Amino acid sequence: MLWYQKLKSDSALKLIGYMLLKTQISKNRVDQYPTALIKTPGGEIQIKCNHSNSDFNMIQWYKQSPGKTDMVLLGYARFSSPVVEDEFRGIYDSVDNAVYFCACFSTVETH
């Protein structure tokens, strides 16, 4: 379970907490690659996230800037339909230096 905070003056969602349930889900593997990437400003970057659970239908990407403890949600893909926040589209810039994380999980459809 993930908890987010959104400030009125900011469009970004900040991850402020999470809870990991010790169930079979924790046995599923999530791989992010490349594990390290060095690029010069002006280039494009592609980071991939794979998982081993066919029930997972959501992948989220987060950015943690140097010296920060919070993480900003960059975008997500649900059922292969990616949504990327506008500020994270385009070419790589030096302000993009950060640690990037992916998270995979299953969501429930409500009708």
pLDDT of residue 27: 61
Per residue in 66-89, pLDDT (tens digit) is 888 888 888 888 776 777 777 667
pTM of the entire structure? 0.60
Other CB atoms closer than 10 Å to residue 2's CB: what's the count? 15
Q: What is the CATH number of domain 2-105?
A: 2.60.40.10
CA distance readout (Å), 90 to 26, 46, 62, 87, 93: 34, 11, 16, 8, 9
Q: What are the structural domain ranges in the chain?
A: 2-105
Give the torsion through C-alpha atoms of 62, 72, 1, 16, to 10 deg: 140
Residue scoring higher pLDDT (110 or 102):
102
Residue scoring higher pLDDT (83 or 27):
83
pLDDT of residue 77: 80
DSSP summary character for residue 105? E
